[in-house]
Structure 1
Amino acid sequence: MGAEAVGVVLAAGMGTRVGADGNKAYLPLDGRSMLVWSLDTLARVPEIARTVLVFRQGESELARKTVERELGDASVEFVEGGPTRHASERNMLRHLAADIESGAVDAVVIHDAARPLAGAAMFATALALAREFGGALPALPVDSLARVTDRGVETVPGSLVRVQTPQAFRARELLDAYRLAEADGFEGTDTSSCIERYTDVAVRTFPGSAANLKVTYAGDIGIAHRLLTERNRSAGPR
């Protein structure tokens, strides 16, 4: 049996800006929790053999019951997250460490539950590029930025992008990077920042999607609903 890829959904964050009383990952979107949309999409990616849900501390029962109610007998592994995104990813890698070290798992795809509309093709692209180059993430160009100085407004040079998830990486390099980060007490802002600090992997970018919305504020739920309706209309009857 060949090495397998693992898809990970991070749902250990808070929901204060979106107006949620608790974890925004469980907010309803067209009849199912936001996190379930991503779990369901991962199940439709043939290249991904295993799915892991990283839940917030104290929400084990909520996570398990939500998945059971909304996805039935879907095969999902559960890992308790930490107080930060980096800590949650570290816990996930500890869960997978033995399989990574044995070579049973060769790649990990990490996605935010707050982005429920990422399509299966985006996961497949991230995984294929990660297996070939070591790491990959979707990105969108940013309009030119400017800064105000004593001399007036100056355009900021360079090409800037907005980074999205899913982000995918070869598993061995990812595990090694997080072990080195733990020894240093370093915590990255996202997965790629840790990879870039502790490995020689040149993380590749590929075109992101404006429809891959991150639900951050209360109004984003309505936007996500409209985007989902448009996607389902375009897809036609299933």
Structure 2
Amino acid sequence: MHSDAVAVVLAAGSGSRVGADGNKAYLTLDGRSMLVWSLDTALRIPEVARTVLVFRQGESELARRTVARELPGAAVEFVEGGPTRHQSERNVLRHLSGDIESGAVDVILIHDAARPLADAGMFTTAITMARDVGGALPALPVTGLARVSGGDADPLTEDVVRVQTPQAFRARDVLEAYRCAERDGFEGTDTSSCVERYTDIRVRTFPGSAANLKVTYPGDVAVAHHLLTAQNRAAGSP
């Protein structure tokens, strides 16, 4: 049986820290809603057979209208998110559970709509590595950190990384992890934390990108807009 990868774009958060009146995923960056940049990237990747947008509760019409206007004709599935990131991920896994259990879906890729600059290469690398070893995520090294105790600072000598999305995992393993988490009442900070707690699959890192910023604060909006504009001009986009 042929198995497919599914790309999931999470857009069920809020805009409180970025200063948006509503959901920051709908902020306009270089002429498009932020979430549409990630959806468009996923839709262009040959390894991705299905693309799912997880929208915030009460925003079904807004999500569908935005995608229809900015990505006309695109094959996007819609799933209502939950009050937390973990619950949003659980909802989309329930949506896909039948196809995961049948083997029709072998890899789940999770990406934050707030990271509109992740390129196709990161998506492809995550999917390929997940198929090979079980799980994959982009990471950037973090330097200049110290552990403070009693006013004394000791430089950290161990390797520390900052993880990004897209993160990809073997579908059956991530589904089982979230079922175990629901049984135990556990909520992870991201997909990898739940997978690492409840499975023994290897989660490997690959080089992230400094340009793959997460739009979190007001200043990030201008930076993301500038980077997308420059990127699209270089690519010859209208």
TM-score, normalization: structure 1?
0.97
Determine the C-alpha separation between the residues in 1 that align with 2:21 and 2:97.
34
Provide the secondary structure at the position in 1 that maps to 2:138: strand
* Matching residue of 1:137: 137
Query: 2:38·2:116 contact (CA, 8 Å) conserved in 1?
Result: yes
Single out whichever of 110-119 and 152-161 deviates more from structure 2. Answer: 152-161
Alignment of 1:144-163 (within 5 A): 144-150=144-150, 152-163=152-163
- How far apart are 1:232 and its partner, in Å? 2.4
Query: 2:137·2:168 contact (CA, 8 Å) conserved in 1?
Result: yes
Determine the C-alpha separation between the residues in 2 that align with 1:164 and 1:191.
11
* RMSD (Å), alpha carbons: 1.2
Query: 2:109·2:127 contact (CA, 8 Å) conserved in 1?
Result: yes
Query: 2:29·2:228 contact (CA, 8 Å) conserved in 1?
Result: no
* Matching residue of 1:33: 33
Determine the C-alpha separation between the residues in 2 that align with 1:71 and 1:35.
11
Provide the secondary structure at the position in 2 that maps to 1:175: helix
* Matching residue of 1:190: 190
Equivalent position amino acid for 1:146 in 2: A
Identity of aligned residues (%): 74
Q: CA offsets, 1:205-226, max 9 Å, x none?
A: 0000001010001111110122
* Matching residue of 1:90: 90
- How far apart are 1:151 and its partner, in Å? 6.5
Equivalent position amino acid for 1:2 in 2: H
* Matching residue of 2:164: 164
Determine the C-alpha separation between the residues in 2 that align with 1:232 and 1:72.
19
* Matching residue of 2:199: 199
Q: CA offsets, 1:140-162, max 9 Å, x none?
A: 00013113334632112311000
1:65 aligns with 2:61: no
* Matching residue of 1:119: 119
TM-score, normalization: structure 2?
0.97
Single out whichever of 138-147 and 175-184 deviates more from structure 2. Answer: 138-147
**Structure 2: which 5+ residue stretches go unaligned?**
none
- How far apart are 1:179 and its partner, in Å? 0.3
* Matching residue of 2:47: 47
Runs of 4 or more above 6 Å deviation = none
Determine the C-alpha separation between the residues in 1 that align with 2:181 and 2:237.
47
Figure out how many residues of one structure are paired with residues of the other and give that number: 238
Distance 1:27 1:174, change over 3 A: same
